[in-house]
Amino acid sequence: MDHHLLMKWMQSGMTVVPTVLLEHYQNIGLSTEEFVLLVHLKSFLDKGETFPDIEEIAQRMGLTSEKTFEMIHRLIHKKVLEIQTGSDEEGKSKDTYSLDLLWEKLAVQLTQQTTKKVQQEEVHSEERLFRTFEEEFGRPLSPIELQTIGMWLDEDKYPLELIEMALREAVLNQVYSLKYVDRILLNWEKKNIRSKAQVEKESQSYRNKKMADNGQNDQQKPTKPVPLHNWLDDEK
């Protein structure tokens, strides 16, 4: 390859196009042709040419000046391109193309997409929680029971994993009742227990206390079975 030609290419600079723009330009209402036009405008801006001639842009894209002018106005109408007017160093009026609106619109799109994904994950998690209750209880949940679980999530703001832990404790104690689960959750709330790790720590403390009461330690073989932690005993 001609060394001088390579140097000329390198000196002409490079235009970096964000991957998120490549992935989402259609989601913000841009056609492929409009996207390419924006890339050309960005290449001019990157070189410090803030208001390139429409004829030069048209030649790059193989379009007429009229068509290019029309597309630029369409992009302005779609609020992804803006012409800002300011003053140069000599105080003369100067127009500049700005892509700030494009980046703002793209940021909004990504935020909405992330929010939607989180909401979908929450719905799937809640559906899984309902199924878990039905599997453990061995029957479908009644409308009242579904509403109760929904209130735990929406009004009481109990973490989903905490509800699952309360269900587990109820099942271990062979009590298949939503009222029992609710009393466990209230007990934990009084103790300011809000996570799975806190439940496990409290259970271990209870186990250690019972073992100490039985004269046992972690290294000894238990002489008496350690009872399950009945959280409702704490209410007495």
Residues 6+ apart with CB under 8 A from 182: 148, 152
pLDDT at 73 exceeding the cut of 80:
yes
The CATH architecture that domain 141-235 belongs to is: Orthogonal Bundle (1.10)
pLDDT at 1 exceeding the cut of 90:
no
| pLDDT at residue 225, rounded to an integer | 45
pLDDT at 236 exceeding the cut of 80:
no
Euclidean distance between CA atoms 183 and 235, whole angstroms: 9
Q: What percent of the chain has pLDDT over 70?
A: 84
Query: Is 100 in contact with 89 (CB distance < 8 Å)?
Result: no
| pLDDT at residue 4, rounded to an integer | 64
Nearest alpha carbon to residue 82 among 45, 111, 109:
45
The reply to whether 141-235 shares the fold of 3-105 is yes
Whether the model clears a pTM of 0.75, i.e. scores above it, the answer is no
Average pLDDT over residues 90-117: 92
| pLDDT at residue 211, rounded to an integer | 73
Q: Tell me: domain 3-105, CATH 1.10.10.10, correct?
A: yes
| pLDDT at residue 226, rounded to an integer | 41
List own/partner pairs for 11-20 with CB under 8 A and 24 or more apart: 13/43, 13/46, 13/47, 15/39, 15/42, 15/43, 15/46, 16/46, 17/42, 20/106, 20/110
Average pLDDT, the chain: 87
Euclidean distance between CA atoms 197 and 203, whole angstroms: 10
> Mapping DSSP to helix (H, G, I), strand (E, B) and coil, where does residue 214 land?
coil
Euclidean distance between CA atoms 20 and 17, whole angstroms: 9
Domain boundaries of the chain, sorted by first residue = 3-105, 141-235
